[in-house]
Chain A
Amino acid sequence: MGVDLSVQLGPLRLRTPLMSASGCFGYGVEYAGAVDLASLGAVVVKGLFLNERDGHPPPRIVETPAGMLNAIGLQGIGVHRFVREKMPELRRIGATVIVNVCGTTVEEYVEVSKVLSDTEGVAALELNISCPNIKEGGISFGCNLAGTHRVVSAVRRATSLPIIPKLTPNVTDVASFAAAAEEAGADAVSLVNTFLAMAIDVETRRPKLSNGMGGLSGPAIRPIAVRMVYECARIVKIPVIGIGGIASAADALEFLIAGATAVQVGTANFVDPFIWGKLEAGLRSYLERHGVSRVADLVGSLQVGSS
């Protein structure tokens, strides 16, 4: 039985629901030798500001139970170098490219979005209003309903590309932020970014990360992320992209059944850069086993009540 893995993300049709998570896949080209980037639903590249950024001093990661903390600090080459140096190869490969857009001001989000709107081959913009590791911008918009609305509506006016605000879990009610993003004209929302967290070296009594705090990712956060995706998908009509500790097809299915239209994989790609083919095969075999012809039919198919 042939199964259909394609999903519709607002105006965007994806080959599969499997996407790389921003910040976990470089600019995509780093993996071009190992993975057929065109076989992914989308390649979501590392967050870009207008200008280059240095990021935080090392140590930038520390491993924790079933997870890791990172405080990279959005090191990056800036949107102009990305367009010049990375996009040609991504276009040649035929990858569906979603760019993660960062800003310290609303104006910067708009400016970066305009540059990318004029770039051939960019399929959508993911708005990073949720990075826990930088002081200014970013999460300050994502932790405030008015700020979220302001960034999303400003970018909405500046581009005709699909826009996908990426939401932080570091709020009391993430669904209200999904609703604010929808109201401001978002085509989809992605969640969750990492959980603000900390690890301490008891011998030296110092934080293990140079930045003090960092973002927790990996299997440890998965059940919380599934719950948050479930809550958001019940509130908004736009598609939800599920992110958080996905390391197997079963993990991805959990998010789809909870209401995600697509998923992003981050930390698990560090452990296994060849994970993409395994995830796709796992989804296919699940659909065949359950007699479901389209993966889209699974979205939000959670059975509640007694069986």
Chain B
Amino acid sequence: MPVDVEAVVLSNTRLPGGYSVLELRAPELASLAEPGQFVMVRASHCDAPLLRRPYSIFDLVRDADGRASGFTLLNKRVGVGSGLLYEAAPGARFCCLGPLGRPFTLAAPPVEAWMVAGGVGLAPFATLAPALAGRGVAATLFYGGRTSADIFCLDRFEPHGVRVVIATEDGSLGERGRVTLPLQAALEAVPPERPVMIYACGPEPMLKAVGELAARFGRPSELSLERHMGCGMGGCYSCVVRVRTPDGGSRYARTCIEGPVLRGDEVLWE
């Protein structure tokens, strides 16, 4: 059951490229969160913007006793709402509704976890990585962006023993090209008897490509989708995505309550 809390900004670290990491104090909400879940953030107390915006929970922040005391959001300044979050100073308060949505399914050894992230699609993996490490799952992060400024926060992954593979479209960091290139190479290289679970979050064309690659190589995948979302609770029916039905047909599923994490083989891209 979600809670709506007035979370207090503890810090707001600006990164190059219009990104920022907003740290919020919200123990009630943070203690409920699972990897892959999201919060609906109200960027303004006025009517501009009116609706909340969905954000993946990035880091879980813990107090000295190890209890969840808050979380961070990975924000990219795009419109009015994300601009207000980018500008937010410590002490500012934002209403956060969550945690919401269906989390990732956690792989277990001997299955390996391959996380594929594009830009701010990195966000849900910062909590997935420690959860996987805690289960002894070997993990790799395939991380792509347009340029080196889109690649950051690797410090969230290296302490958990995550192998990191980077690709940038302009070649300024890591391999040149889309992140699906090294992913495809890895899929070709890994022997079929080694089980792999693929998790992906990022722009829709990337998710589509990852889902198709996973299917082509017979690997299970879970994709975290982002859609225009009105409420996050299943009330408005705006965030739908087409999914397959068991009878061979299809239907619109609400990504807020049936997702945001959906199996790659259930999504029917339009």
Seen from chain A, the residues whose Cβ lies within 8 Å of a Cβ on chain B are 23-26, 30-31, 33-34, 46, 54-55, 57-63, 65-68, 70, 72, 75, 218-220, 267, 269-274
Contacts of A66 in B (CB 8 A): 47-48, 50
Q: Are B236 and A61 in contact (CB under 8 A)?
A: yes
Q: Which of B9-17, B18-26, B227-235 contacts A (4 or more CB under 8 A)?
A: B227-235
Distance between Cα atoms of A71 and B41 in the complex (Å): 23
Most A-side CB within 10 Å, residue of B49, B235, B251, B252: B235
B241 at the interface (CB under 8 A from A): yes
B69 at the interface (CB under 8 A from A): no
B270 at the interface (CB under 8 A from A): yes
Cβ-neighbour of A72 out of B50, B52, B238 (below 8 A): B238
Distance between Cα atoms of A62 and B233 in the complex (Å): 17
Distance between Cα atoms of A54 and B253 in the complex (Å): 10
Q: Are A270 and B235 in contact (CB under 8 A)?
A: yes
Q: Are B237 and A75 in contact (CB under 8 A)?
A: yes
B183 at the interface (CB under 8 A from A): no
Interface size of B in residues (CB-CB distance below 8 Å): 29
- A58-B241 contact given A26-B234, A30-B234, CB 8 Å threshold: yes
Distance between Cα atoms of A272 and B96 in the complex (Å): 10
Given contact pairs A26-B234, A63-B51, A273-B97, enumerate 15 new A-B contacts (beta carbons under 8 Å): A26-B233, A30-B234, A34-B1, A55-B237, A58-B227, A58-B240, A66-B50, A68-B230, A70-B230, A70-B238, A75-B240, A270-B51, A271-B52, A273-B2, A273-B4
B178 at the interface (CB under 8 A from A): no
- For A71, the closest partner residue in chain B by CB is B238
The distance from the CB of B216 to the nearest CB of chain A, in whole angstroms, is 26
Interface residues in B221-270 (C-beta closer than 8 Å to A): 227-228, 230-231, 233-241, 251-252, 257, 270
Contacts of B228 in A (CB 8 A): 58-62
- The tally of CB-CB contacts under 8 A between chains A and B is 94
B188-223, CB under 8 A of A: which get 1 and which 0? 000000000000000000000000000000000000
B42 at the interface (CB under 8 A from A): yes
- For A272, the closest partner residue in chain B by CB is B4
Distance between Cα atoms of A272 and B4 in the complex (Å): 8
Interface residues in B38-55 (C-beta closer than 8 Å to A): 42, 47-52
Q: What are the nearest 10 A-B pairs in CB distance?
A: A30-B234, A270-B231, A66-B47, A61-B238, A60-B238, A33-B1, A26-B235, A270-B230, A72-B237, A59-B228
Most A-side CB within 10 Å, residue of B2, B48, B228, B251: B228
Contacts of B238 in A (CB 8 A): 58-61, 70, 72
Distance between Cα atoms of A68 and B229 in the complex (Å): 12
Most A-side CB within 10 Å, residue of B50, B52, B231: B50
Contacts of A30 in B (CB 8 A): 233-235, 257
Contacts of A218 in B (CB 8 A): 47, 50
Q: Are A271 and B1 in contact (CB under 8 A)?
A: no
Distance between Cα atoms of A221 and B113 in the complex (Å): 49
Contacts of B237 in A (CB 8 A): 23, 26, 46, 55, 60, 72, 75
Q: Are B50 and A34 in contact (CB under 8 A)?
A: no
Distance between Cα atoms of A270 and B239 in the complex (Å): 13
B137-148, CB under 8 A of A: which get 1 and which 0? 000000000000
Q: Are B50 and A68 in contact (CB under 8 A)?
A: yes
- For A59, the closest partner residue in chain B by CB is B228
Contacts of B235 in A (CB 8 A): 24-26, 30-31, 269-270, 273
The distance from the CB of A235 to the nearest CB of chain B, in whole angstroms, is 31
Distance between Cα atoms of A220 and B4 in the complex (Å): 25
Contacts of B97 in A (CB 8 A): 273
Contacts of B227 in A (CB 8 A): 58
Contacts of A62 in B (CB 8 A): 228
Contacts of A65 in B (CB 8 A): 47-48
- A273-B233 contact given A58-B240, A68-B50, A219-B47, CB 8 Å threshold: yes
Cβ-neighbour of A57 out of B2, B234, B270 (below 8 A): B270
Q: Are B251 and A54 in contact (CB under 8 A)?
A: yes
Pairs A–B under 8 Å by Cβ, sample size 12 = A26-B234, A34-B1, A34-B233, A46-B237, A57-B270, A60-B238, A60-B240, A61-B230, A75-B240, A218-B50, A270-B236, A272-B95
Q: Are A70 and B240 in contact (CB under 8 A)?
A: no
- A219-B236 contact given A33-B1, A270-B231, CB 8 Å threshold: no
Distance between Cα atoms of A33 and B233 in the complex (Å): 10
Contacts of A55 in B (CB 8 A): 237, 240, 252
Contacts of A273 in B (CB 8 A): 2, 4, 97, 231, 233, 235
Cβ-neighbour of B236 out of A34, A70, A220, A272 (below 8 A): A70
Distance between Cα atoms of A274 and B47 in the complex (Å): 17
The distance from the CB of B33 to the nearest CB of chain A, in whole angstroms, is 16
The distance from the CB of B129 to the nearest CB of chain A, in whole angstroms, is 29
Q: Are A54 and B252 in contact (CB under 8 A)?
A: yes
